[in-house]
Structure 1
Amino acid sequence: MKSIRVALLDDHAVVRQGLASHLGDAPGIEIVGIYKNSRELMRGMSTVPVDVLLLDFVLGRDELDGVSLIRALRVRFPACRILVLSTHHDPATVSLALRVGARGFIGKDEDLTCLAKAIRVVASGAVYLSAEASYKVVDGIQQSDNSPQLISSDTNVLQLALLSAREQEVIRCYLDGMTITEIAEKFNRSIKTISTQKATAFRKLGITSNNGLFKIMKALE
């Protein structure tokens, strides 16, 4: 299989070295660029194609803010998928990063064993949120006084992870207690199609089990 070309941007040398060392042993992942500032990153990505960019959301005071940088990168390198790795992973930051074009978000205090998985998920075209980030975003939706229309709505959590309309249908029915066979009959789709849509939805939500789904949705009760 073709390796996933990954670039790193972080203004701390220790972090850069640690990430490069950790990912260097991951099968199917090739580190093609390690950058300390956005200027170096822009020059490097102009000559070396990148599939996934692992991006620190908050850089030095002379740098662009995370939102502006993600927007600039999306315009200049639309084929590159951005995975944010940051110490700042409050619900507002995670939601904002996704809204402006990031395809995933991991907190720096989380276990790095998830990193290779997150890169592969994002490279596949899906959205990756770690379990912790998912829970925090859900909590933020619940507690937001400025967005009352989002309170107690599992629909918005599913939309946040960019699930397609059909994937959202499958997950809602599954949460209502329907089996894969019953969902297939309801929507006149094959069992294989429903199973695939459920698996894709799980991947976008950053979960691997039924328990993970129920934990995320329980926060909305």
Structure 2
Amino acid sequence: MSPVVDIIIADDHPVVLAGVEKTIEACAGCRIAAVAQSVGGMFEALRQYHCDIVVCDFSFCGDPEPDGLMMLERLARSYPHVRIIVLSQHDDLIRVKRIMTIAAGFVSKTTGIACLPDAIEEVLGGCKFVDTRTAKLLLGHMFERQKDGFGDEPLTMREMEVMRLYSRGMTVTEIANYTRRSLKTISAQKQSAMKKLGARSDVELVDAFKIAEGSGNL
């Protein structure tokens, strides 16, 4: 007899929770161990119940405890045996890539939760899972990066210094004055960081840097 797979679900949207519950209940061999609507509730459930897989949202609106990448890192660090499937509407590709350095699976709410059974099966088998739509977008983005010369080269110490100051709201001119380097040098380091992080605008650049810095992937 195959062992039962215990799953904890965490999402701050009751309608999503209900849909996920219904989908998982229809999966043979799966059992919902607990349901939570907050980050704290999820960790409390993990302390109380046996769990093989956590299906959780990426962001919990108004939650007093950290969500996002910090939450995923805490989850992976505290419960390394638990496989994480992120179910989220935040499906921009830079964020998904960072999520998948921690989680075992990603399912976009834009795509829908119908593929959750496939995600559960894949992660239980030790594989990574990304829903079909997001996977196609990631693949297309990867080829675009290769075509445009983008790579996975890490930022240099000088580039990280520039990006930390830039992400705090300093202008390129202010950074040049603060670091006593030329405006041309600071501009070149900012552009190099943009290329390495695959960002196409200043907003994307700051967001990509914060995500990469938060996940320790710089």
User: Shared fold by TM > 0.5?
Assistant: yes
d(CA) in 1 for partners of 2:95, 2:141: 10
Task: Note if 1:95 corresponds to 2:97.
Answer: yes
Give 2:32's aligned residue.
Answer: 31
Cα 1:21–1:103 change in 2 (3 A) is same
The unaligned stretches of length 5 or more in structure 1 are 151-221
d(CA) in 2 for partners of 1:110, 1:96: 19
Structure-2-length-normalised TM-score: 0.64
d(CA) in 1 for partners of 2:55, 2:113: 13
Give 1:66's aligned residue.
Answer: 68
Stretch deviating more after TM superposition (8-17 or 106-115):
106-115
Which amino acid counterpart does residue 72 of structure 2 have in structure 1?
A: I
Contact 2:39/2:67 (8 A) holds in 1: no
Task: Note if 1:20 corresponds to 2:39.
Answer: no
Cα 1:147–1:49 change in 2 (3 A) is farther
Give 1:165's aligned residue.
Answer: none
Deviation at 1:66?
A: 1.1
Give the 3-state SS of the residue equivalent to 1:54 in structure 2: strand
Cα 1:147–1:67 change in 2 (3 A) is farther
Give 2:105's aligned residue.
Answer: 104
Contact 1:90/1:136 (8 A) holds in 2: no
Summarize deviations over 1:44-93 as a string: whole Å, max 9, x none.
Answer: 10121211110101211334131000000011111000001111112111
Task: Note if 1:86 corresponds to 2:88.
Answer: yes
Which amino acid counterpart does residue 142 of structure 1 have in structure 2?
A: F
Contact 1:90/1:137 (8 A) holds in 2: no
Structure-1-length-normalised TM-score: 0.63
Task: Note if 1:133 corresponds to 2:117.
Answer: no
d(CA) in 2 for partners of 1:114, 1:14: 17
Cα 1:110–1:67 change in 2 (3 A) is same
Task: Note if 1:76 corresponds to 2:78.
Answer: yes
d(CA) in 2 for partners of 1:51, 1:131: 24
Contact 1:103/1:127 (8 A) holds in 2: yes
Give the 3-state SS of the residue equivalent to 2:59 in structure 1: coil
d(CA) in 2 for partners of 1:97, 1:50: 20
Larger gyration radius, structure 1 or structure 2: 2
d(CA) in 1 for partners of 2:74, 2:88: 19
Which amino acid counterpart does residue 61 of structure 1 have in structure 2?
A: G
Which amino acid counterpart does residue 149 of structure 1 have in structure 2?
A: G
Task: Note if 1:50 corresponds to 2:35.
Answer: no
The unaligned stretches of length 5 or more in structure 2 are 153-218
d(CA) in 1 for partners of 2:15, 2:114: 18
Which amino acid counterpart does residue 21 of structure 2 have in structure 1?
A: A
Give the 3-state SS of the residue equivalent to 2:151 in structure 1: helix
Which amino acid counterpart does residue 96 of structure 1 have in structure 2?
A: R
Q: How many residues align?
A: 149
Cα 1:64–1:29 change in 2 (3 A) is same
Deviation at 1:109?
A: 2.2
The two structures, once aligned, show a CA RMSD in angstroms of 1.9
d(CA) in 2 for partners of 1:46, 1:52: 14
